[in-house]
Structure 1
């Protein structure tokens, strides 16, 4: 393989723009990490016209994929977890070229998992969890059980990823294998939801009861990134929160997370008078007694 594909990456490696080149091989009977390709070449560059550039090749009745990725895009994937394969590509890939030990340093960062980055990832994952959990409860209350089931499965997946991050690890594609070792209680909830002989209504009812405690017990810690930023000012409008550069990644999940934290008495609303009679601006602040 390497001899056939070497001209592809050697040309890139000679360019000052290239930071590192990795080769990821498909494992026996496992094509999920490489998207069924026999080989993936991952090239990280400083600058690129588009965030990602991909080319596909065939060789010896096999197939290869070339992924050229802008460094900025790589950092975003690692922060937001929007490309589940990238961590495994980095940890499992064979380094073919590494300028100034770029990949060696990146692997050390992933292993150390800096605390601020971890706190932000926990906050983002918790916001997604609350979105799915709250939407699932609405569907359940309206007896839309299949839609509720779909949201609950996603909520449990976010809860699993949250548990992995809290323990200082990056979630992998096989996140349930990680959770089975780290927090078997969450794994058991997921297993019971999908394998129980109970009716779907009963399964959801039991799961909402059990997950309520799991979510409540980690709320203060999981929301600490947002709460600490909010403590920098006496009160905030929703637009000020959405415009804060430290909160932009929360996106559409920020509003429902704030409502959840109001319900759980971590945040309180502040009514500010407007020119209209009996009409108030709704501001937010962290409850002082916390």
Structure 2
């Protein structure tokens, strides 16, 4: 297969804007890593007419997908989990062109997973987790058990990704195989939920109780990215101030759910500020004394 693709990637290798080229072959028949293709050809460039260009090929009954991705877009994917397969492509891919050891440095960066990037990724997945978990509880209370079941599965998935990040790894597409090796508590929650013989409503009820404990124990460390931002000033923050902060943009869509959860757990306190309207107050937010005393 590589022989057929070689003329394609050699053409791109001659382009001075090409930083590196990786070849990723399907190892297992049902592996999700290559998006069901037999081969992925990932070409990373400085500049291109599109930020992300994809082309599909078929060669002697085998399939290949060519991805040309601009470097800044790829780094955004890595930092914010924008396209999860990309991380595995870099980790597992075979370099067939590497300008100035760009690919080698990128692979090393993924192995290191710097703390600042780890904190951001934890915050992003924590936001998705608490939003999904809150929706599951609301649906359960409304008697919508099938939808609540679906949201619990989503919540478990985000919890699994969070557990992997906490251990210093990037979550892979096959995240549960990672979790089974590094966080038995989270894996056991998942196993109990999918294998339980209880009725759907009872299974959800038990999982809501179990997950509440696990999420609460992780809340402060998972929300560190946001809490560190809020520590940069002594006064209370309005929602608009937090939402517009440049470092919050990757998780601003889940910000309301995050703040609601942190307020509920007394990690963040609400400060009411009088407005011009009689009896109308603006809600502002500060880190609670409980968290401040732990630092």
Q: Which runs of 5+ in 2 are unaligned?
A: none
| 1:176 alignment partner in structure 2 | 176
Name structure 1 gaps, 5 residues minimum: none
Query: Compared with structure 1, are the counterparts of its residues 37 and 126 closer, same or farther at alpha carbon in structure 2 (3 Å cutoff)?
Result: same
Report the CA distance between 1:14 and its aligned residue. 0.7
> Could you say which residue in structure 1 is the equivalent of 2:192?
192
Please, what TM-score do these two structures have when normalized by structure 2?
0.95
Whether the 8 Å contact between 1:19 and 1:102 is mirrored in structure 2 is yes
How high is the TM-score relative to the length of structure 1? 0.97
- 1:5 paired with 2:38, answer no
Structural mapping, 1:1-290, within 5 Å: 1-233=1-233, 234-290=235-291
Q: CA deviation at 1:91?
A: 1.2
Please tell me the root mean square deviation across aligned C-alpha atoms, in Å: 1.1
Are residues 191 and 289 of structure 1, via their aligned partners in 2, closer, same or farther at CA, if it must alter by over 3 Å? closer
SS in 2 for 1:218: helix
The 1-side partners of 2:138 and 2:50 are apart by 40
Superposed displacement of residue 289, structure 1: 4.2
Q: CA offsets per residue over residues 58-117 of structure 1, 9 Å max, x none?
A: 222222111000111111111111312112111111100001100100111100110111
* Residues paired across the two proteins, number: 290
1:2: how far off? 2.2
Indicate if the aligned counterparts of 2:267 and 2:290 stay in contact, CA closer than 8 A.
Answer: no
Give yes or no for contact 1:31–1:37 (8 Å, CA) kept in 2. no
Superposition deviation, residue 243 in structure 1: 0.7
Structure 1: distance between partners of 2:146 and 2:28 = 36
Distance, in Å, in 2 between the alignment partners of 1:49 and 1:230 is: 39
